[in-house]
Structure 1
Amino acid sequence: MPWRCFYWAFERTNSRLQRRKAIVTVVLAFQSLGAIYGDIGTSPLYVFSSIFPSSIPTENQILGAVSCIFWAFTVVVIVKYCIIVLFLGPNNGEGGQVALYAKLARTLHVGPRGVVLPGEMEADDRLVLAKSVTHDSQLSRVRYRLTGWFEETALPKLLMGLCFFGCSLVLSDGLLTPTTSVLSAIGGIAVAAPSLNNAVLPISCGVLILLFLSQRLGSGKLSNIFAPIVLLWLVAIAVVGIINIAKHPAVFKALSPAFAVDFLKEQGGVDVLGGVMLSMTGVEAMFADVGHFGRLPIQLSLSGVVYPSLMLAYFGQAAYLILNPSGISNVFYLCIPGGINTPQYWIIFVLATLATVIASQALILGVFSILRQMIHIDCFPAFRVRHTSSRVFGQVYIPVVNYILMVGVVLTTVGFRTSNNVTAAYGLGISMDFFVTTTLITFCLVYVYRVAWYLYVPFFLAFGALDMCFVVAGIRKVPHGAWFPLVVTIVMTSFISFWRWARSLKVDYEYGSRVRVGTIFDGVEKNVDRNAETLALGRVLTNTLFEDDEMDKNKVPLKDLGHRVGEEQHSESTPPPPPVSSAGELRLRADPPLAVARMPHVVALLHSNVTQTLHSPNTVPQILSRLLKIFPGLPEHVVLLGSRVADMPFIAGDSKVNVHAMRNVPGFYRCVVRSGFMESGQITDTILSEILTLIEAEQVQGVCHLIENARVHARRKTFNGRWRFLRMGVELVRTFAIEQIFSPLDRVFERKRIDEEDKTDRHEFDVRVLYVGTIVSL
């Protein structure tokens, strides 16, 4: 009898969890309506007028056009993206080209050096800190999986190039989609009141600015606001479609693909597919926004709500055009029952305006998601990323990118002025993005899922050929404005590739500049402390450092030393350093060896790269060697400190700080501070006090943050020989790019990182910051 009660309770708990999970899925599916489908949901505003821009179509042409829309949408959006891409493409819950690249690079072990790829299993800090293994040796053990010139040399560059190109296409689309959607919707004013035609442009710019300013609220809150509007919009266009279909039900014979084939033959090629492609704009953002809501909610909302509503709308417009072919210029507004200036007309107009504003939301979120992933793999400048939800890791907001994108969209809107001009330039970038996604999915089928050739070859030939048809149709639009997304894509791809190249040079320099402790200190290999073991795991203190306000009055105020070594002199107001002890345990390697003076009761926190901190147990950063050349003395405790951001919102107190003593070097420790993505990641007084407790630093009088302040310069070369002038020209371009483009940007983001690490609270001891200047030659 007891076991039956237990079984009943278990079943009831399990069903309750399933119901709760189902409710969460439905809620996310509803929210996705307001964040993802605004773009693809507002395509009926301009698709038919783009297919027939300057002629009145016949009945067969209308049936052929709607047949092309139906089958292209079904094959590309439903079969390819909803079923195949959303199942095979996401990586660690994220979507887009970066996710596909990360999945491939993680499988083939060809990712950027020093980067933990999304989805890659991270070793426990406690275990890694205790091991004597280098990052390079790990790579050498796994690289044996790659065989052949293509996999070892060409494939990594090809995958990264496709990733950068695909991301740039989405970024260029992020400029055109808001412009197209908003101009098309606001243009409805001119249909009902032609005298307001000149007001369309300024109203559109104002609406776009308000949209970008609202992004700081976060995608979760915006989705709760936008989702009901998009749902009403989809229901409204479906109802309008049903009313028009009822007037001419024979339009459903266009479901036969024969009408689409005959229409393409009549048009004499694939040029018309450029207009058909506009019905699928936004699907690439749907894949990029997977991290905001999840795969299953997106699939449910797309197949259950969006797809049937759009098909009814397109068939309804086709039915109206068959009866009124002269209304092709603005078929969406003219097919509204009752005509213009009626209550239902203005209701649809208001919904269209709101829906087109929301249409921009999908691309904005896609840009945020892609750039966050690019920053994570060190392929884009490290803009500050703000997570807007503690439940969904992918819901992010990047303030600087948001305002840059706002300026770009407004300028694009002013430049194109009308929706017809924008739609002439729209579509080429999206079709090229389709082909890039198809290629990367094919590589995933080959290298990640390892399916048989008779599965991935038909996939690539079928979808790749269809994508290329859309690309060819879009190329015909280059003289009419499609050059704009190409130029933006080329510029963005060049910048991202240059940034990754320069960053790889700097990372290689950082790895190559590491100094073995044996080359600095004499006899450390022989002086092995067998009793040095992993210290107790860190625990975040829940109480404050001081019990009452009376003790706060006796605190020593925080002082920022702020002097750069070799650049500035100490000011008279700087307090004298702590007394130096001559009883040091370390000796500098020299002839004869020099004893290293230790400053008692002083702790130095040396901020370094977390990868180097974890995987280099017998090496130290070059900053320490440089510091010893200037000041042959060290604090009593030296902590090599690295930080790591986890994919959890908050880190439990007992796993936040991990410290391990370097057994070869007395007084040296390696430490990793983990923080959740909703936490600041700064060295606060609670974390600092916990570090001091773990290294058993008693009677601490001062803490010094040692931070490297690097200046990047291009190395100088001399050339001789026949081609010296050409090589000198190439070197001048290289020097200009490194010193005039990369170096200023790198200093800006390095300065931002330093400011974050320098932000500490008041302590019961003196806290100083020492910047050590170094020159990095690339």
Structure 2
Amino acid sequence: MSLHDVSGNANDCEAGVAVQASVQRRKIIMTAVLAFQSLGAIYGDIGTSPLYVFSSIFATGIPTEHQILGAASCIFWAFTIVVMVKYCIIVLFLGPNNGEGGQVALYAKLARTLHVGPRGVVLPGEMEADDRLLLAKSVTHDSQISRMRYRLSGWFEETALPKLLMGLCFFGCSLVLSDGLLTPTTSVLSAIGGIAVAAPSLNNAVLPISCGVLILLFLSQRFGSGKLANIFAPIVLVWLLAIAVVGIINITKYPAVFKALSPAFAVDFLREQGGVDVLGGVMLSMTGVEAMFADVGHFGRLPIQLSLSGIVYPSLMLAYLGQAAYLVLNPSSISNVFYLSIPGGINTPQYWILFVLATLATVIASQALILGVFSILRQMIHIDCFPAFHVRHTSSRVFGQVYIPVVNYILMVGVVLTTVGFRTSSNVTAAYGLGISMDFFVTTTLITFCLVYVYRVAWYLYVPFFLGFGTLDMCFVAAGVRKVPHGAWFPLVVTIVMTSFISFWRWARSLKVDNEFDSRVRVGTIFDGLEKNVDRNAETLVLGRVITTSLFQGDDIEPGRIVPLKELAPGVADEQQSESSPPSLNSTALRLRTDPKVELARMPGVVALLHSNVTQTLHSPHTLPQILSRLLNIFPGLPEHVILLGSRVSDKPFIAEDSRVNVHAMRNMPGFYRCVMRSGFMESGHISDTIMREILTLVEAEGVKSVCHVIENSRVYARRRKFTGRFRILRAGPELARTFMIEQVFSPLDRVFERKRFDEQDKTERNGYDVRVLYIGTIVSL
């Protein structure tokens, strides 16, 4: 090796190190930017809790110095244990699934490991084989992933555990949704209430102003969480620094407040209060932490951990200790300690500055719950457990930043009605906290199951975790139950209604999916002679290219090499046709399995796209959708080219043009193809004229006159059952309820969302051929 070569290698190494350093710097900068943005989207709720926590703990009287220090100690240690240790360290490390957070992510991780997920659903984070490989091979979905699964055994794991996990997931999601109604109401009413402190004559204006602020917040969601975070983050940062400064000023007046950091004060306080009832007020200091976990997909785990531990935690602890110090010196100010503890008093410039900041911060506080609701419902839609509302991705860089228009407006109406119903912040805080504490326990339970089945840790690790955090969570639940007569019944009712609806929807969808799978027919049931002399080793993958198989072995063509289809040597193509039992791809001879056998006529120049479930398209190579048999009953013949089309959305923002469409010619069935169309999450997913031309090229369709999208338009009915016997009336009651829910609730919604997927197809560009949409009606009995 020459000296010049050595010098060149050294320069290459230096260049590689420089590139790696540049990439690392960009990652650090991106993490810092996301951490800053997370301030404006996640911590508004938990950051505005100092507005009402102490007032809620001492709602019935003036506290003593020892009680104030005890309450401050409870806030400090509860926040540290639950928020910092449990969520920041444990949950954010073990909980996220495929970058997403919340109970749905925990369920998806467990269901993927235990192989108990909904049928026909690709769970987030599930490792899949390439579409081309699945199209080329006759394999089943389970055989591809069974080696990755945890083997279940026993009655509990096989029967009870799957239902328990799904039930916990639905219940936890419903708790977050009910919390999404109360959090904006509590935060905004508490902040706007500062007007009444300085100007009591404006007390009646608090409610209408709060409703107006909430409406403006929901209307701004259409701009996306990324843009809103850039606007909100500086405000929340200034707010956190401001309350920290106010806290420091009050602490200097009573430095002995740091005694509250001793857990002995918390224990004594709980003992003096005679139980855990006071924890209902302490619980309010941690509101929003579940939304923080649910919003992981918007910003990522590390940015959230950095912003929480570096800015949010120290600022809030200084604010709470400062309020405790002020209360020790001014215990009669407990009714509105936040505003009264501002240095200088009311109607001063600093008072109104903090009032404006508090108002803006509480508006932003609602943002965390709104984004959490969007994130959770997007995941629920993905696993087919919620109606498929339109989900709009607002960022091409972060997959989890989404906006669901219909849900946004439904939530806006619900929040405004809740605000009008409760009227004052004190009424809301009396009902607030029970749902959050129950959500804590659900998360603890699901994390424990993850430790057992996903991470397979020893029992001496997951048992203390569940007993320790589970016991603390149940103490918060017990304290929240005392609030039921005072308004806590509201989140319970909302949770029960939402859990019932989600459970019903999943049950009905599972029945329909089972019907779709069971109604598929084997090709030999419709066509004659297709199950004879099938060479299962002869596979032709049409991608505008052919992946050669064992039939193409020679000096010029190596097995596995990709060569253009039309550039194959004529001799090789002849050899393929002579040695393989399937007829030529250009043959149009197909016979129906009738008596006598009828040769099926083909319509030249006509291409039919049969839209079907992508899972069935990929993993059922020897079956056909039932819609095809109905198509044969409608038309006297089949189109020249019939394409079974399934579509899927990638977790990448955009898909390269040469990877959008994969097509495979079906064996023994001339003119029949299985096709998978992929689109990025930032793309529309509709079949544009460009994609249509690509499909026609891949199937070698020439002289096309018409393209017809064939779509199943199913109407769901409930199966009628007749009951006899002495108790037939009692048995008929549940059956009538079942019939009503299926036909009057599920069926209309299902038709709307199924039809919506294809409404854009008839808008496809016409470029040399007609494009039509044919809806074929079917009856589905559940």
**What TM-score, normalized to structure 1?**
0.93
Q: For 1:305 and 1:277, how far apart are their aligned partners in 2?
A: 21
Which secondary structure state, in structure 2, belongs to the residue aligned with residue 261 of structure 1?
helix
**2:689 alignment partner in structure 1:** 685
The question of whether the paired residues in 2 share the 8 Å contact of 1:270 and 1:470 is answered with: yes
Q: For 2:95 and 2:779, how far apart are their aligned partners in 1?
A: 42
Q: For 1:341 and 1:391, how far apart are their aligned partners in 2?
A: 45
The question of whether the paired residues in 1 share the 8 Å contact of 2:114 and 2:150 is answered with: no
Q: For 2:327 and 2:219, how far apart are their aligned partners in 1?
A: 39
Q: For 1:531 and 1:177, how far apart are their aligned partners in 2?
A: 61
In the alignment, does 2:683 pair up with 1:676?
no
In the alignment, does 2:658 pair up with 1:651?
no
**1:604 alignment partner in structure 2:** 608
Deviation at 1:315, TM superposition (A): 0.3
The equivalent position to 1:743 in structure 2, one of 728, 744, 747, is: 747
Q: For 2:460 and 2:330, how far apart are their aligned partners in 1?
A: 48
Q: How does 1:551-630 map to 2 (within 5 A)?
A: 584-630=588-634
Which secondary structure state, in structure 2, belongs to the residue aligned with residue 444 of structure 1?
helix
Q: Per the alignment, do residues 646 and 184 of structure 1 end up closer, same or farther by CA in structure 2, a change over 3 Å counting?
A: same
Q: Per the alignment, do residues 296 and 137 of structure 1 end up closer, same or farther by CA in structure 2, a change over 3 Å counting?
A: closer
In the alignment, does 2:646 pair up with 1:639?
no
Structure 1 residue runs of 5 or longer lacking an equivalent are 540-582
**1:422 alignment partner in structure 2:** 428
Deviation at 1:123, TM superposition (A): 1.4
The equivalent position to 1:493 in structure 2, one of 489, 499, 509, is: 499
Which secondary structure state, in structure 2, belongs to the residue aligned with residue 635 of structure 1?
strand
In the alignment, does 2:772 pair up with 1:768?
yes
Q: For 2:57 and 2:12, how far apart are their aligned partners in 1?
A: 65
Q: For 2:640 and 2:437, how far apart are their aligned partners in 1?
A: 62
The question of whether the paired residues in 2 share the 8 Å contact of 1:264 and 1:272 is answered with: yes
**2:573 alignment partner in structure 1:** none
**1:547 alignment partner in structure 2:** none
**1:305 alignment partner in structure 2:** 311
* Deviating more after overlay: 762-771 vs 45-54: 762-771
The question of whether the paired residues in 2 share the 8 Å contact of 1:538 and 1:658 is answered with: no
**2:718 alignment partner in structure 1:** 714
Q: Counterpart of 1:587 in structure 2: which amino acid? A: R
The question of whether the paired residues in 1 share the 8 Å contact of 2:389 and 2:404 is answered with: yes
**2:277 alignment partner in structure 1:** 271
Which secondary structure state, in structure 2, belongs to the residue aligned with residue 145 of structure 1?
coil
**1:534 alignment partner in structure 2:** 541
Deviations 1:24-77 (A, max 9, x none): 000000000000000000000000000000200000000000000000000000
Q: For 1:670 and 1:84, how far apart are their aligned partners in 2?
A: 45
Q: For 1:308 and 1:772, how far apart are their aligned partners in 2?
A: 62
**2:574 alignment partner in structure 1:** none
Q: For 1:142 and 1:453, how far apart are their aligned partners in 2?
A: 23
**1:211 alignment partner in structure 2:** 217
**1:459 alignment partner in structure 2:** 465
Q: For 1:532 and 1:489, how far apart are their aligned partners in 2?
A: 52
The equivalent position to 2:129 in structure 1, one of 123, 129, 137, is: 123
**1:75 alignment partner in structure 2:** 81
Q: Counterpart of 1:26 in structure 2: which amino acid? A: A
**1:548 alignment partner in structure 2:** none
Q: Counterpart of 1:69 in structure 2: which amino acid? A: I
Deviations 1:386-415 (A, max 9, x none): 000000000000000000000000000000
Deviation at 1:139, TM superposition (A): 7.9
Q: For 1:142 and 1:148, how far apart are their aligned partners in 2?
A: 19
Deviation at 1:4, TM superposition (A): 2.4
Which secondary structure state, in structure 1, belongs to the residue aligned with residue 759 of structure 2?
helix
Q: Per the alignment, do residues 531 and 457 of structure 1 end up closer, same or farther by CA in structure 2, a change over 3 Å counting?
A: closer
Q: For 2:372 and 2:260, how far apart are their aligned partners in 1?
A: 34
Q: How does 1:344-423 map to 2 (within 5 A)?
A: 344-423=350-429
Q: Per the alignment, do residues 74 and 532 of structure 1 end up closer, same or farther by CA in structure 2, a change over 3 Å counting?
A: closer
Which secondary structure state, in structure 2, belongs to the residue aligned with residue 673 of structure 1?
strand
Q: For 1:398 and 1:404, how far apart are their aligned partners in 2?
A: 10
Which secondary structure state, in structure 2, belongs to the residue aligned with residue 603 of structure 1?
strand
**2:33 alignment partner in structure 1:** 27
Deviations 1:364-394 (A, max 9, x none): 0000000000000000000000000000000
Deviation at 1:584, TM superposition (A): 4.5
Q: Per the alignment, do residues 46 and 144 of structure 1 end up closer, same or farther by CA in structure 2, a change over 3 Å counting?
A: closer
Q: Counterpart of 1:466 in structure 2: which amino acid? A: L
In the alignment, does 2:109 pair up with 1:103?
yes
**1:448 alignment partner in structure 2:** 454
**1:705 alignment partner in structure 2:** 709
**1:696 alignment partner in structure 2:** 700
The question of whether the paired residues in 1 share the 8 Å contact of 2:762 and 2:772 is answered with: no
Deviations 1:659-692 (A, max 9, x none): 0000121110000000000000001100000000
Q: Matched residue pairs, number?
A: 735
Q: For 2:72 and 2:150, how far apart are their aligned partners in 1?
A: 53
Q: For 1:306 and 1:225, how far apart are their aligned partners in 2?
A: 18
**1:289 alignment partner in structure 2:** 295
The question of whether the paired residues in 1 share the 8 Å contact of 2:588 and 2:671 is answered with: no
Q: Per the alignment, do residues 370 and 535 of structure 1 end up closer, same or farther by CA in structure 2, a change over 3 Å counting?
A: same
Q: For 1:9 and 1:138, how far apart are their aligned partners in 2?
A: 41
The question of whether the paired residues in 2 share the 8 Å contact of 1:34 and 1:225 is answered with: yes
Which secondary structure state, in structure 2, belongs to the residue aligned with residue 755 of structure 1?
coil
In the alignment, does 2:738 pair up with 1:734?
yes
Which secondary structure state, in structure 2, belongs to the residue aligned with residue 754 of structure 1?
coil
Deviation at 1:132, TM superposition (A): 1.4
The question of whether the paired residues in 1 share the 8 Å contact of 2:542 and 2:665 is answered with: yes
* Deviating more after overlay: 727-736 vs 103-112: 727-736
Q: For 1:754 and 1:773, how far apart are their aligned partners in 2?
A: 15
**Identity between Structure 1 and Structure 2 (%):** 85
Q: Counterpart of 1:77 in structure 2: which amino acid? A: V
Which secondary structure state, in structure 1, belongs to the residue aligned with residue 457 of structure 2?
coil
Q: Please provide the CA RMSD for this pair.
A: 1.5
Q: For 2:766 and 2:426, how far apart are their aligned partners in 1?
A: 60
Deviation at 1:525, TM superposition (A): 1.6
**1:198 alignment partner in structure 2:** 204
The question of whether the paired residues in 1 share the 8 Å contact of 2:100 and 2:294 is answered with: yes
The question of whether the paired residues in 1 share the 8 Å contact of 2:138 and 2:619 is answered with: yes
The question of whether the paired residues in 2 share the 8 Å contact of 1:527 and 1:664 is answered with: no
**1:330 alignment partner in structure 2:** 336
Q: For 1:96 and 1:345, how far apart are their aligned partners in 2?
A: 38
Q: Counterpart of 1:601 in structure 2: which amino acid? A: G
Deviations 1:200-256 (A, max 9, x none): 000000000000000000000000000000000000000000000000000001100
The question of whether the paired residues in 1 share the 8 Å contact of 2:247 and 2:321 is answered with: yes
Q: For 2:249 and 2:293, how far apart are their aligned partners in 1?
A: 33
In the alignment, does 2:307 pair up with 1:262?
no
Q: Counterpart of 1:618 in structure 2: which amino acid? A: H
**What TM-score, normalized to structure 2?**
0.92
The question of whether the paired residues in 2 share the 8 Å contact of 1:538 and 1:654 is answered with: no
Structure 2 residue runs of 5 or longer lacking an equivalent are 1-6, 547-586
**1:51 alignment partner in structure 2:** 57
Q: For 2:762 and 2:147, how far apart are their aligned partners in 1?
A: 38
In the alignment, does 2:539 pair up with 1:511?
no
